[in-house]
Amino acid sequence: MTNKEFNLGEIAKKLDLNLEGDPDYKISSVNNLQEAHESDISFYYSKKFKKDLEETNAGAVILSKNDDSSYIKNKLFTENVHLAYAKLSQLFENHYDNLSQIDRSAVIHETAKISNKCYVGPHSHIEKNVIIEKGVVINSGVSIGSGSIIRKNTVIYSNTTIYPNTSLGEHCILHSGAVIGSDGLGFAKNGKKWEKIVHSGFVEIGNYVEIGAGCTIDKASLGKTTISDGVKLDNQIHLAHNCFLGENTLIGANTSIAGSVKIGKNCMIGGLCGIVDNIEITDEVIIYPMTFVTSSVKNKGTYSGGSALMEHKNWLKKVASERKKK
């Protein structure tokens, strides 16, 4: 990987920021206010960090246009500091130097079609009829099942497992330990035993999707499990068979979504939520963390269901009060 360096004039132009300072000043990395050095650029988005701003060693800081701080070094102004920080982090992201390398320890079936402009890391296993397009990065220990398609500029981190017939879009990121396409919970009662329902479906993932470490995405029992363009999943999320996630929906860590749930576009679902099977959540819904969703959400808006931390005796009083109301 290659480290990057930019001068402030370049950064201002690329991120559409207003620079007040030296356009030739060199920046080599991004850091927080407390730990930044003179070659770092940082960002200030809340007055609670005012002391850190006054004491920072950062060579430059991104600030709100309305900020009148006493910071006297190089300043870059914007209307949305958090968005500017996101774009800045992408600007300094390290990239692989050699995208024309297949490690000699990788096991690749002879029928697999792999672009000559991709990277396949040590001990990866690519099965028959897999298609891997240009710009794809497959790190060590990745397993890709037969008939799967990995489209261009997607990055798959170490020890990820992709089951057969998975379709993975362009510019996706799969973090370590994700499992895509395993069977869901499908069993029929037969007396005191369970008969397995064989899952013959697959998983289809759109473009610009990010799937966090340790996520498990079940394939459909019939048909497909769908993750649409722009979806962002935090770590250790479970998505059961035949689910549908709409475009640009974001879900927090440790949320579990049961089978055949449909979630619309531009939703935000907090961590540690539970969502029961066979319900629908419409577009533009925000659900706060630790909410248990037991029925469909038909109207866009903000919903919550978890209890805030309180002393146990006060919690008992609250429960008792709610029971009296019933």
- Active site (catalytic) residues: 241
What is the distance between the alpha carbons of residues 118 and 152, in angstroms, rounded to a whole number? Answer: 9
Contact assessment for residue 164 and residue 148, using Cβ atoms and an 8 Å cutoff: yes
Contacts for 141 with CB less than 8 Å, ≥ 6 apart: 121, 122, 123, 124, 158, 159
* Cα Dmax for the chain: 78
What is the distance between the alpha carbons of residues 306 and 309, in angstroms, rounded to a whole number? Answer: 10
